[in-house]
Chain A
Amino acid sequence: MKVFAKYIKLSPVAKAIIFAFLTFYSILTLFPLIWLVYNSVKTNNDFLANPFGLPQLSKLQLKNYYDAWVTMGIQRFTINSLIISSVSVIFSLIISSMAAYAIERMIWRSSQKVLNYFLSGIMVPIQIILIPLFINFKKLNLLDSRVGLLIPTVAFALPTSIFILTGFYKTIPRELEEAALIDGCSVYKIFYKIILPLTMPAFVTIAVFNFLGAWNDLLIPLVLIQTPEKMTLPVGLLNFRGMYGAELTKMFAAVVISAIPSIIIYFVLQDKLLKGMIAGAVKG
């Protein structure tokens, strides 16, 4: 990454201009978020009187956060989102690693065809399948249930996960498996004892990527979930914008709360996340 700047010698003036532009644009980008945060601790009246001004320190409304978390029920939505996102990540890791192993390491004729079949799913707009999914889930009594929400969430995570994992499995040397085979391991044992531990770095990338995907998803839970008790964060927020429309600064607090987990995940695991995004895009 550093290479480029080393070879292109820009004049100090040009560098200063670039730096000034980037600084200006970064403030422009971040300001809406900063505005959101400092307004989330104002009273509603203070906000309406002066939406641009900073809050007065003597009147900080930390109670907005308590109200959003407890009274408005952000707590429950966060727990729902955590459950759906975590469980769907676990399932997508198990199912996609098994499939990727069979495609990349097992020997059979149609493996590449099956891989392409999965990869074709990357491009499918989710709207297309929502109506049949809704109708069939209604018949199967899976509407408004966590299991029902998990099924499409995991399925839509499969194409990219399988793509990244097959790429990863290409790089594992065959000798490892041969040695295990000679020692009397079955393929199942090889997969479980040798391949899975080696897959951990790729798992972290896919897990972050899929977790954020499930965490941020709006459309699937919007269609499949109806009762507030089972809503995930995005749907819950949307639902509450209508209900608590007048209590704007509490709404701000709710939005800040639901943004925090994504931001934490990003700063802790950003290298893994970016890797997944770039890898996913290269196939794209």
Chain B
Amino acid sequence: MKKLERAFGNKLAIAIFIAPALILFTFVIPLPILHSFYMSLFKWDMLSTMTYVGFENYKELFSDGIFLSSIWHTIEITVLSLIFQVTLGLFLALCIVNITKGRKYFQNAFFIPNILSSAVIGILWFFVYNYDFGLINSILKSVGLDSLQQEWLSQKYVILALSITTCWQWVGYHMILYIAAISGIPQDIIEAAIVDGAQGLKMVTKIIIPQIRPVLRVSIVLIITGSLKYFDMAWIMTEGGPDFASETIATYIYRTAFNKLQYGLGSAASTFLFAVSILITVLINKFAAKREEMY
């Protein structure tokens, strides 16, 4: 088997196979992250020369009310997305695994929004929420509830409206994950629970949720990391407005760098976002690992 080891341990072959991916990946993801941190220490608009300012950009960032409120909006969207998508997704999954007819139709109906591009979804929902000719207000009007008509993308409701659209887009995805997990619960566990008299809600809270905990964790991580980089819907539907009411960290980065040409400040915000993403991933993994040890 010397020959085997020599053939599959061939250093040149390994290098040839791995090099394209390694080079491309390194130049597009890790190196720009470092570059971003480096640039966050400078003031630069691409026209004048770069000036080193130390941590001045970070000071400016955290004294900028719009940035601080963008952090708050990102948190709001994260919390609302978690509530909407996890509970609704779980509820839909529990409903679907309990029926035999029409399963395929319901799965497809709930999942379809997830395959559409955010441009399609954002423009569609921009029209759905419109005050004058939007779907929601015209339904309210046609059933005589004119008084409930709202400017749905107004300061008061915009975060809620965006979170509902995001739920529409993603709930089917999480539902699919939960259905796969519930279907994977070993039969004998369910049978034993039935023998022990577990019914309805008890079955859900005592058997199903603990059994699918790993998948629930994955879906929560995905929702949190997805909300941290929340950009598409906010940019397409409101451009972070009205009056920055739906500005998220991601739209702030985009606006600062590509509209205002403040590359240093934008890089500082990017570096902050990166640090937060890492922190949250580590925290969730630690916390979730501890919880799993307990069971």
Contact = CB atoms under 8 A, between A and B. Distances in A.
B120 A237 contact: yes
A106 B6 CA distance: 10
Contacts of A5: 97-100
Contact of B118 (A32, A178, A218, A282): A218
A31 B100 CA distance: 24
A125 B274 contact: yes
A75 interface: no
B123 A251 contact: yes
B283 interface: no
13 contacts: A4-B183, A7-B191, A31-B135, A32-B128, A106-B17, A126-B229, A128-B270, A130-B253, A133-B28, A187-B13, A223-B254, A237-B119, A241-B123
B242 to A, nearest CB: 17
A52 B96 contact: no
B145 interface: no
Given A131-B267, A282-B218, A22 B177 contact: no
B257 interface: yes
B24 A36 contact: no
Interface of B: 3-5, 7-11, 13-14, 16-18, 20-22, 24-25, 27-33, 35-36, 39, 46, 92, 95-103, 105-106, 108-110, 112-113, 115-120, 123-128, 132-135, 138-139, 141-142, 168, 172-173, 176-177, 179-180, 182-183, 185, 187, 190-191, 194, 203, 215, 218-219, 221-222, 225, 228-229, 231-232, 235-236, 249-250, 253-254, 257-258, 263, 266-267, 270-271, 273-274, 277, 281
A158 B25 contact: yes
Interface stretch (A57-65, A198-206, A258-266): A258-266
A87 interface: no
Given A19-B99, A98-B17, A128-B274, A26 B24 contact: no
A10 B10 CA distance: 60
Contacts of A103: 18
A203 B215 CA distance: 25
A202 to B, nearest CB: 16
Interface of A: 1-5, 7-8, 10, 15, 18-19, 21-23, 25-26, 29-33, 35-36, 47-48, 50-52, 94-96, 98-99, 101-103, 105-108, 114, 117-118, 121, 123-136, 138, 151-152, 154-156, 158-159, 162, 177-178, 181, 186-188, 191, 212, 215-219, 223, 233-235, 237-238, 241, 248, 251-252, 255, 258-259, 262-263, 265-266, 270, 273-274, 277-278, 281-282, 284
A1 B107 CA distance: 12
A156 B266 CA distance: 21
B190 A8 contact: yes
A92 to B, nearest CB: 9
A122 B207 CA distance: 31
Contact of B11 (A108, A114, A216, A219): A108
Given A156-B28, A162-B21, A187-B10, A32 B125 contact: yes
Given A8-B194, A52-B135, A123-B225, 16 more contacts: A8-B98, A25-B92, A99-B21, A125-B228, A127-B273, A132-B39, A135-B46, A138-B46, A155-B25, A215-B117, A233-B117, A234-B117, A262-B116, A262-B117, A262-B120, A284-B221
* Complex A-B, nearest 8 residue pairs according to Cβ-Cβ distance, in ascending order: A234-B119, A155-B28, A99-B21, A102-B17, A216-B117, A125-B229, A129-B32, A132-B35
A158 B24 contact: yes
A55 to B, nearest CB: 14
A136 B173 CA distance: 36
Nearest to B190: A7
A176 B97 CA distance: 40
Contacts of B128: 32, 35
A1 B179 contact: yes
Contacts of A101: 17
Contact of B4 (A22, A181, A219, A223): A181
Given A4-B183, A5-B97, A51 B10 contact: no
A274 B7 CA distance: 37
B250 A133 contact: no
Given A22-B95, A127-B273, A158-B25, A95 B232 contact: no
